[in-house]
A and B are shown apart, each in its own frame.
Chain A
Amino acid sequence: MTGVVLLGFGAARWRRPADPYHLEEWSVGGRAFGNWTIWFLLGGSMYSAYTFIAVPALTYGVGAIGWFAVPFAIVTTPLTFIFTTRAWSVARRHGFLTHSEFAAARFGSPGLGALVAVTGILATIPYVAVQLISLQAVLRTVGFGGEWPLLAAVTLVSICTFRSGLRAPALLSVVKDVLLGWMLITAALMVAMYGGWGSAFRGAATRFAATPNPADGLLLPETGHLGFLTLVIGSALAIFAYPHALVGMLAAKDRDTVRRNAAALPVYCMALGLMAMLGVFALARGVTPADGDLNTVVPRLIHEYFPSWSAGVAYAALSIAALIPAAVMSIAAANAFTRSLYRTYLRPNATPEAEAWTSRWVSLVVKFGAAALILAVDPAFSVDLQLIGGVLILQTIPAVFLGLLTPWFHRAALTAGLISGLVTGLVMLWDIPKLDATGRVVAEHFGGSSWSLGDGRSIYVGVVALAVNLLVTVVLTLLVRAAGVRDGDDRTRPDDYHADAGDPYLKRLDELIDGLPTGGSGGRPISAPYPPHHMPEQRVP
């Protein structure tokens, strides 16, 4: 743990930039990371402790339904190949750091950008909280229960991020993956020692048969397919809409880096699959969670079955796996605030230093806000918290994800669609009671994200809300066009989506902000709410 902290501070010196006070340097590592760094960083931020703690907790608790995370992770990889490449190019040409800036520029509406930013921040906080819950589960298993160890860990990672920006999580990701690899090898040996997967799955099947819950088991029940598939699709789309999805990729140095990474990402899907199957193994071996908290299943399994020194490695891997995404997510949420709210509405003349300073402090607020959230809310099924965030973030899909493909939507229609999607999602979530294992209602509201259709089938709320959102957006776009209301100005051009490193019009962000080719900041104020846009006529040599 001490080594990790030292590395976090050391990261500030790694590839030290000439001017570390720019928001660009701090938040996306100067956009110069190569293949390996990006692969580890993406793996570190997208396959997080939520995945490695909560997914096995789900397969332990309900069996096949918990397996949704694996197809979801796989589906994202071809989508990354197409969409993230486009996002990288347009962001590099215009100097975007966040989805909200993109939406504002694409549809000519700062208000839409601000709405996307607010939604992103609201959805990210529970996601960060989920990471911290996982960390707490590890701490509890090793005997550090209560609130103070968690707060201490959050403080440490906050200081590292505050100093080093994205460099800290990038470097720590490498460490995490080495430790995690070791942990998976140990786990595989352990499974082999105790009779292999065959006996693990047979044991788990027996235990599922003994529970009163009809929805659990090694296979999906006949009525379970709709819920499972909507969950997979909804989560896969949501992952692209989270602010932090862009942060890791933007740090890549060229398009090919992004594309090669997409091809290598399924390796993480397999690691995730192995972890998810550990939940089955834990069930078969009769591991019992501490205090009835399912998130402690994996830490308990490690505690009981790993040799003690190997268990230490595994705990370290899980802890870092919680802290890295927490850091990346808080950076991303902070950027969204700085770029789409602070600079647009509060201080249009903010200097780059002021921007970076604001982002740093907001990232602290996000992390401690998330810590406060888990200390205040009962985190029984931590995945549910994240799924509620997922329902919110999914509503930005038309503006952000589809916006990468088409400028067709009207800004007013997108805004209305986003709001109606949010309202639909929240109303449905409010209406879902929480059931315990025997089917008794233990809480009236916000009990999960699967909306029951009554006949045993269920559907993921996020997908329903997104459908409402899309319907409103499309219908209103047609109506508004018919009424002759003017479109917003699309500040992007078709070839922006294919720009690559070496492109003469591709600019470093500091040039875009300051107009200074040397990259020096000089503290020159920005006169417009957006970085000056290079106009088409300026492109003619």
Chain B
Amino acid sequence: MSPRSRHWQWLLVIPTAAPLLTPFANRIEPTLFGVPFFFWYQFACALLAMVVITVVYLATREGRP
């Protein structure tokens, strides 16, 4: 992995930090399908983690031109 593509890994800070923002997430409204924000926020974080990790994986994949 080149040092330059390694910078992409800093993106991983986002999905690591997002699930930990409980003072921000600790609320009922807005609800989604009746689920309080505190609960569905973590589902959103899981989706975010999938997207970010996939992006970093594609950006740092070895053997690409």
What residues make up the interface of A, taking CB atoms closer than 8 Å to B?
64, 67, 70-72, 74-75, 77-79, 81-82, 196-201, 218-220, 225, 228-229, 232-233, 255-256, 259-260, 262-264, 266-267, 269-270, 273, 277, 498, 500
What residues make up the interface of B, taking CB atoms closer than 8 Å to A?
1, 9, 12-13, 15-16, 18-20, 22-23, 26-28, 31, 33-36, 38-39, 42-43, 45-47, 49-50, 52-54, 56-57, 61-62
Name the residue of chain A whose CB is nearest to the CB of B13.
Answer: A78
Q: Given the known inter-chain contacts A77-B15, A218-B28, please indicate yes or no for A266 contacting B46, CB distance below 8 A.
A: yes
Of the candidates B19, B28, B52, the one whose C-beta lies within 8 Å of that of A75 is B19
**Among all A-B residue pairs, the 4 with the closest Cβ atoms:** A198-B34, A71-B19, A197-B34, A78-B12
Of the candidates B12, B34, B50, the one whose C-beta lies within 8 Å of that of A266 is B50
Task: Tell me which residues across on chain A come within 8 A of B54, comparing CB atoms.
Answer: 263
Task: Tell me which residues across on chain B come within 8 A of A81, comparing CB atoms.
Answer: 12, 53, 56-57
Contact B16 A270 (CB under 8 A): no
Contact A196 B16 (CB under 8 A): no
Q: Kindly provide the distance from the CB of B57 to the nearest chain A CB, expressed in whole angstroms.
A: 5
Interface centre among A72, A77, A199, by most B CB within 10 Å?
A77
Task: Tell me which residues across on chain A come within 8 A of B28, comparing CB atoms.
Answer: 218-219
Contact A270 B46 (CB under 8 A): yes
Q: Kindly provide the distance from the CB of A166 to the nearest chain B CB, expressed in whole angstroms.
A: 25
Of the candidates A70, A498, A500, the one whose C-beta lies within 8 Å of that of B42 is A70
Tell me, in angstroms, the Cα distance from A228 to B31 when the chains sit together. 22
Contact B53 A262 (CB under 8 A): yes
Name the residue of chain B whose CB is nearest to the CB of A268.
Answer: B46
Name the residue of chain A whose CB is nearest to the CB of B19.
Answer: A71
Q: Kindly provide the distance from the CB of B59 to the nearest chain A CB, expressed in whole angstroms.
A: 11
Contact B36 A219 (CB under 8 A): yes
Q: Given the known inter-chain contacts A79-B16, A220-B26, A498-B1, please indicate yes or no for A74 contacting B46, CB distance below 8 A.
A: yes
Tell me, in angstroms, the Cα distance from A493 to B50 when the chains sit together. 31
Tell me, in angstroms, the Cα distance from A270 to B40 when the chains sit together. 10
Task: Tell me which residues across on chain A come within 8 A of B20, comparing CB atoms.
Answer: 71, 75, 229, 232-233
Tell me, in angstroms, the Cα distance from A282 to B23 when the chains sit together. 27
Task: Tell me which residues across on chain A come within 8 A of B1, comparing CB atoms.
Answer: 498
Of the candidates A77, A233, A500, the one whose C-beta lies within 8 Å of that of B53 is A77
Q: Kindly provide the distance from the CB of B58 to the nearest chain A CB, expressed in whole angstroms.
A: 9
Task: Tell me which residues across on chain A come within 8 A of B38, comparing CB atoms.
Answer: 64, 67, 218-220
Contact B57 A260 (CB under 8 A): yes
Q: Kindly provide the distance from the CB of B56 to the nearest chain A CB, expressed in whole angstroms.
A: 7
Name the residue of chain A whose CB is nearest to the CB of B33.
Answer: A197
Tell me, in angstroms, the Cα distance from A71 to B23 when the chains sit together. 13
Q: Given the known inter-chain contacts A197-B34, A260-B57, A273-B39, please indicate yes or no for A78 contacting B49, CB distance below 8 A.
A: yes
Q: Given the known inter-chain contacts A219-B27, A270-B43, A273-B46, please indicate yes or no for A232 contacting B12, CB distance below 8 A.
A: no
Pull 13 A–B residue pairs with CB atoms less than 8 Å apart, ordered by A: A67-B38, A71-B20, A71-B42, A82-B9, A196-B33, A199-B34, A200-B34, A201-B31, A225-B23, A229-B20, A255-B62, A262-B57, A270-B43
Tell me, in angstroms, the Cα distance from A225 to B22 when the chains sit together. 7
Name the residue of chain B whose CB is nearest to the CB of A256.
Answer: B61
Task: Tell me which residues across on chain B come within 8 A of A199, comparing CB atoms.
Answer: 34
Interface centre among A218, A266, A270, A273, by most B CB within 10 Å?
A266
Name the residue of chain B whose CB is nearest to the CB of A255.
Answer: B62
Of the candidates B9, B23, B53, the one whose C-beta lies within 8 Å of that of A263 is B53
Task: Tell me which residues across on chain B come within 8 A of A232, comparing CB atoms.
Answer: 19-20
Interface centre among B28, B36, B38, B52, by most A CB within 10 Å?
B36
Tell me, in angstroms, the Cα distance from A197 to B36 when the chains sit together. 9
Contact A228 B61 (CB under 8 A): no
Tell me, in angstroms, the Cα distance from A277 to B52 when the chains sit together. 25
Contact A218 B36 (CB under 8 A): yes
Q: Kindly provide the distance from the CB of B45 to the nearest chain A CB, expressed in whole angstroms.
A: 5
Task: Tell me which residues across on chain A come within 8 A of B50, comparing CB atoms.
Answer: 263-264, 266-267
Contact B31 A78 (CB under 8 A): no
Name the residue of chain B whose CB is nearest to the CB of A222.
Answer: B26
Q: Kindly provide the distance from the CB of A162 to the nearest chain B CB, expressed in whole angstroms.
A: 36
Name the residue of chain A whose CB is nearest to the CB of B31.
Answer: A198
Q: Kindly provide the distance from the CB of B17 to the nearest chain A CB, expressed in whole angstroms.
A: 9
